[in-house]
């Protein structure tokens, strides 16, 4: 090199670190410890594409669900009440893609896990930071998919609040995934297309992964997809099993609402507050709407609901057109005892204070004496055992 040619400066994070002594290179750290030809970039890139699509679908649909349940103030009054089945479809996709991601994540980690034991363990400060980022990414993904899976079973064996934790870990995992893809972009680009003759076992391995994803999807998606209901072997819910042919998450016994007073009255608060007995509610114009009830656990079922339009109840109370509605349940406690309904839902003609389902008086587990049913709304916000409605 010419004396006048500037020597490129090495950044501090690229400076090499000392290599540990070879005596420590034992077990999985020894050279040739992993002999499968499938631990190679092309296989990792193919599975990574599938996994990325599943995780992106899961993240976007989960974000929609979170915004419907906890909208920021600037969005609260602009949430859409249509399409009617919007939440049913998006939350179904959320759970389906999340379950499909589990075998894909396992296959991806198996393909690349020999990298955990490469030698030397860290080559530079930058390499150490990269490995730390991958560790955080893998931990976040594992925690996200498995807490989500346990949520479908309504099993929460941890001390932290599920929904908020699941939301923020979703952001952490997605951000880490995007950074990882950016760091590995040159490698991904080189192996995006088949470079030539493939590894002998790759086709069989990818076929087995595809079969695993298809199996877990087909045997669980029936809780959302009607035409797959006959294959619904492992989903935690069957949408056609329960009182009046509908599943129940929280029963009247759990809510403490089994004994509703004979003189129950609905109170509607607004500029002109009033109360209604059941007989007076039944004397009002009655409407029916075929609406799905869809829960965050991924199951959904469609039924024909009958009752009084919430908009009519608000108009009688003199509420202004843009008023939100605060709904209070008879249950003694619970995170959704009091819910708030934006004006777009409250004024939708399909939003009902339901008194019947499929032509029958509501079963106590479905909210007798009255419950809210609205289009494109999470099931946890379809308040049961309604005692009071207040125009806000």
Write the CA distances from 280 to 53, 244, 367, 378, integer angstroms.
Answer: 53, 25, 18, 29
Given 231, 256, 279, the domain boundary residue is 231
Give the Cα-Cα-Cα angle 136, 138, 141 (nearest 5 degrees). Answer: 105
Which parts of the chain register pLDDT below 50?
1
Flag whether 2 is in a domain: no
Provide the whole-model pTM: 0.90
CB 299 within 8 A of CB 224: yes
Last residue of a domain, one of 194, 209, 231: 231
Does residue 147 contact residue 162 with C-beta atoms inside 8 Å?
Answer: yes
Q: Is the CB of residue 264 less than 8 Å from the CB of residue 276?
A: no
Of 111, 108, 127, nearest to 50 by C-alpha is: 108
Residue 131 lies in a domain: yes
Single residue among 201, 231, 261 that ends a domain in this structure:
231
- Give the domain range for residue 294: 245-391
Token pair belonging to 352 = 């009902």
Element (H, E) at 302: strand 300-309
Q: How far apart are CA 270 and CA 356, in angstroms?
A: 26
- pLDDT tens digit sequence for 291-317: 999 999 999 999 999 999 999 999 999
Task: Give counts: helices (H), strands (E), the chain.
Answer: 11, 10
Total domain count, the chain: 2
Structure tokens given for 68: 């419907």
In this prediction, residue 85 carries a pLDDT of: 95
Q: Are residues 173 and 316 in the same domain?
A: no
Amino acid 162: pLDDT? 94
Residue 1 within any structural domain of the chain: no
Q: Phi and psi dihedrals of 248, rounded to 5?
A: -135, 135
In contact, 388 and 327? CB cutoff 8 Å = yes
Residue 7 domain flag: no
Contact partners, residue 374, CB within 8 Å, separation at least 6: 81, 291, 310, 341, 345, 348, 350, 351, 352, 381, 382
205 and 317 together in one domain: no
Tell me, yes or no, whether 208 and 317 share the same domain: no
Domain assignment of residue 47, yes or no: yes
Provide the 3-class DSSP secondary structure of residue 169: helix
Cis peptide before 120 (omega within 30 of 0): yes
What tokens appear for 295 in the block?
A: 């829960």
Pair 305, 201 in one domain:
no
Query: Residue 318's pLDDT is what?
Result: 97
Are residues 272 and 321 located together in one domain of the fold?
A: yes
Residue 26: its pLDDT value, please?
A: 83
Are 302 and 292 in contact, with CB atoms under 8 Å apart?
A: yes
**Could you give the angle at which helices 41-69 and 162-183 cross, rounded to 10 degrees?**
140
127 three-class SS: helix
Domain identity same for 88 and 35: yes
* Nearest alpha carbon to residue 220 among 299, 127, 331: 299
> Is position 239 within any domain?
no
- The CA radius of gyration of the chain, in Å to the nearest whole number, is 27
| Cα–Cα distance measured from residue 232 to residue 226, given in angstroms and rounded to the nearest whole number | 10
Tokens of 135: 């560790």
- Do 76 and 208 belong to one domain? yes
β-partners of residue 277 are: 265
If one counts every other C-beta atom within 10 angstroms of the C-beta of residue 22, the result is: 11
Shared domain check, 150 and 110: yes
223 in any annotated domain: yes
Question: Can you give the length of the chain in residues?
Answer: 392
Asked if residue 26 and residue 170 are part of one domain, the reply reads: yes
CATH number for the domain that contains residue 368: 3.90.420.10
Same domain, 293 and 328: yes
CA-nearest of 223, 255, 205 to 364 is 255
Residues 223 and 253 in one domain: no
Tell me the angle at which helices 162-183 and 125-152 cross, rounded to the nearest 10 degrees. Answer: 140
Evaluate whether residue 6 is within a structural domain: no
Q: Which residues pair with 308 in a beta bridge?
A: 353
Judgement on whether residues 200 and 100 belong to the same structural domain of the protein: yes
Please tell me whether residue 339 adopts helix, strand or coil conformation: strand
């Amino acid at each position: 090199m010419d004396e006048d040619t500037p020597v490129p400066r090495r950044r501090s994070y690229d400076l090499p670190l000392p290599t540990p002594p070879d005596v420590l290179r034992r077990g999985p750290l020894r050279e040739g410890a992993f002999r499968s030809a499938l631990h190679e970039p092309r296989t990792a890139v193919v599975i990574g594409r599938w996994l990325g699509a599943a995780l992106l679908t899961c993240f976007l649909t989960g974000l929609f669900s979170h915004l419907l349940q906890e909208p920021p103030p600037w969005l609260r009054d602009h949430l859409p009440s249509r399409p009617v089945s919007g939440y049913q479809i998006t939350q179904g996709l959320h759970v389906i893609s999340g379950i499909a991601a589990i075998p894909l994540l396992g296959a991806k980690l198996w393909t690349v896990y020999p990298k955990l034991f490469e030698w030397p363990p860290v080559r530079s400060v930058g390499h150490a930071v990269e490995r730390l980022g991958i560790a955080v990414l893998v931990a976040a993904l594992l925690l996200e998919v498995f807490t989500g899976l346990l949520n479908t079973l309504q099993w929460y064996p941890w001390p932290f609040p599920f929904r908020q934790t699941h939301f923020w870990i979703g952001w952490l995992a997605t951000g880490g995934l995007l950074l990882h893809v950016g760091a590995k972009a040159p490698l991904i680009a080189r192996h995006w297309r088949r470079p030539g003759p493939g590894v002998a076992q790759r086709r069989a391995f990818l076929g087995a992964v595809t079969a695993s994803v298809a199996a877990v999807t087909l045997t669980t998606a029936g809780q959302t997809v009607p035409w797959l209901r006959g294959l619904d072997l492992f989903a935690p819910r069957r949408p056609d099993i329960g009182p009046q042919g509908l599943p129940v998450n929280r029963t009247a016994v759990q809510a403490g609402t089994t004994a509703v007073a004979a003189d129950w009255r609905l109170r509607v608060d607004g500029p002109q507050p009033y109360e209604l007995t059941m007989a007076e509610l039944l004397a009002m114009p009655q409407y029916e709407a075929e609406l799905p009830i869809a829960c965050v656990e991924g199951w959904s079922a469609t039924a024909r609901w009958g009752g009084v339009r919430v908009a009519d109840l608000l108009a009688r109370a003199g509420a202004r057109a843009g008023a939100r509605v605060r709904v209070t349940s008879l249950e003694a406690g619970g995170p959704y005892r009091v819910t708030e309904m934006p004006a777009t839902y409250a004024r939708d003609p399909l939003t009902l204070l339901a008194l019947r389902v499929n032509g029958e008086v509501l079963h106590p587990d479905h909210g007798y004496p009255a419950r809210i049913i609205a289009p494109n709304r999470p099931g946890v916000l379809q308040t049961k055992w309604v005692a009071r409605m207040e125009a806000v």
